[in-house]
Structure 1
């Protein structure tokens, strides 16, 4: 398996950017919103990068692919919570546009990363 640090992966950097932008937005919410949607959306957004990192750290193509698929699921969960937050007037259209731009870049990057994992000859697995 490749020895590239997960922090160098573009897909990981995008996941960090999304999580940090969400954190900035929700950090200003009122207590009720913070105790409901805030916790869910921050956890799901943070989970994207955490699963990319864990996949790389597991040391095999099979585990890496599995965890990146979990990261993709966390991205979809994050999109759900963003929709709920916008519908409940917790996010501005400007914030949504920022998140959408990142997600529109991140989602295909995740899919490409999933498809690229294990494309090396199997005899290189360790």
Structure 2
């Protein structure tokens, strides 16, 4: 029998990669931008994968789903920070549009993860 691992969860892998891409962008900004918007966007982006990981580690289905929903909320927060970064010319338009598209895909992936969790777990 093959067990599910965190690294096999599509939503986790996607969120983790997005967090790293956003970190790479923020790391290039000047000090003021990093300390104002950069900290916020980095935290919300890292929170996307961190909440999936925390939910994965929980035993009960309702706990798992609660953290998956937190992750979805972090995705929407990250989207908002990306829009601010775009408006303030911190990330090139083409690059930020790709990041926003990736972030908007995450809640759909999380909803599939929640559906899977509901179907597979009793408690």
TM-score (norm 2): 0.91
Q: Give the Cα separation in 2 of the matches to 1:62 and 1:25.
A: 35
* Runs (5+) with no aligned partner, structure 2: none
Hey, what does 2:46 align to over in structure 1? 46
1:7 matches 2:7: yes
Match of 2:75 in 1: 75
**CA contact 1:86–1:96 (8 Å) conserved in 2:** yes
Partners of 1:89 and 1:120 lie apart in 2 by 45
2:16 and 2:46 in contact (8 A); partners too = yes
Segments of 4+ in structure 1 off by > 3 A?
Answer: none
SS in 1 for 2:120: coil
Which structure ranks higher in relative contact order (CA pairs < 8 Å, sequence separation ≥ 6)?
1
Bigger shift: 11-20 or 96-105? 96-105
Counterpart for residue 85 of structure 1: 85
Count of residue pairs brought into register by the alignment: 122
In structure 2, how many angstroms separate the alpha carbons of the residues matched to 1:40 and 1:17?
18
Superposition CA RMSD, Å: 1.7
1:121 Cα offset (Å): 5.7
Q: Name the CA distance, whole Å, in 2 between partners of 1:29 and 1:97.
A: 18
Offset at residue 97 of structure 1 (A): 2.6
Cα offsets for 1:20-57 (capped at 9, x unmatched): 11011111101100001000000000001100000010
Give unmatched runs, 5+ long, in structure 1: none
